[in-house]
């Protein structure tokens, strides 16, 4: 991960926190959701760094807040969680605690069926094989199927 990408993600997490503190999360404009997703996916592979972990926690909280209204934001949060789980990345304990607390309400089977987004999984896109889909819609559907069918090949 480049220093510049990480520094930009850290800076943007500060702006996201400022937005959240000033305006709250009752209304989440699309650029806010997009920025949260980019920050989270950028920092996902640098969570051993305390500054990155702190920035990730802020951006992920904002993403979940926006997810109260927007399926797209919930999809990003779900994709981040599944990406971490399927790649062996350990999320900060605070995020795991939040995910456990909202497990029954944050994501439902009908969300998987309703989601339609070509938003890419930035954390794994560069390692994808030619022709392999890394879009939110396809990955979540694939990973949800794997979660239900333990005999299915592991990602």
Q: How far is CA 141 from CA 100, 103, 109, 118, in A?
A: 21, 17, 10, 13
Residue 112's domain spans which residues? 3-148
* C-alpha span between 2 and 42 (Å, rounded): 10
Range among 31-40, 121-130, 136-145 with highest mean pLDDT value: 31-40
pLDDT at 147 over 60: no
> Which helix (H) or strand (E) is 87 found in, with range?
helix 71-87
Q: Is residue 23 part of a domain?
A: yes
**For residue 56, is pLDDT > 80?**
yes
Average pLDDT over residues 147-151: 54
Whole-prediction pTM: 0.70
Q: Tell me the angle at which helices 30-43 and 71-87 cross, rounded to the nearest 10 degrees.
A: 0
Question: Tens of pLDDT along 105-120?
Answer: 666 666 666 565 555 6
Residue 154 lies in a domain: no
The tens digit of pLDDT for each residue in 73-90 reads: 888 888 888 888 888 999
First to last CA, the chain: 22
């Amino acid at each position: 991960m480049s220093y510049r990408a990480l520094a930009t993600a850290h800076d943007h997490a500060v702006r996201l926190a400022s937005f959240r503190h000033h305006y709250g999360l009752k209304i989440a404009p699309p650029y806010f959701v997009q920025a949260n997703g980019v920050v989270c996916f950028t920092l996902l592979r640098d969570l051993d760094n305390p500054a990155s972990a702190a920035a990730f926690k802020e951006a992920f909280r904002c993403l979940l807040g926006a997810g109260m209204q927007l399926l797209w934001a919930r999809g990003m949060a779900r994709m981040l969680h599944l990406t971490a789980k399927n790649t062996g990345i350990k999320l900060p304990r605070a995020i795991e605690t939040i995910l456990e607390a909202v497990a029954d309400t944050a994501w439902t089977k009908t969300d998987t069926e309703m989601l339609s987004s070509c938003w890419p999984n930035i954390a794994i896109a560069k390692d994808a094989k030619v022709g392999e889909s890394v879009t939110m819609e396809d990955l979540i559907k694939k990973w949800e199927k794997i979660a239900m069918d333990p005999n299915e090949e592991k990602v």
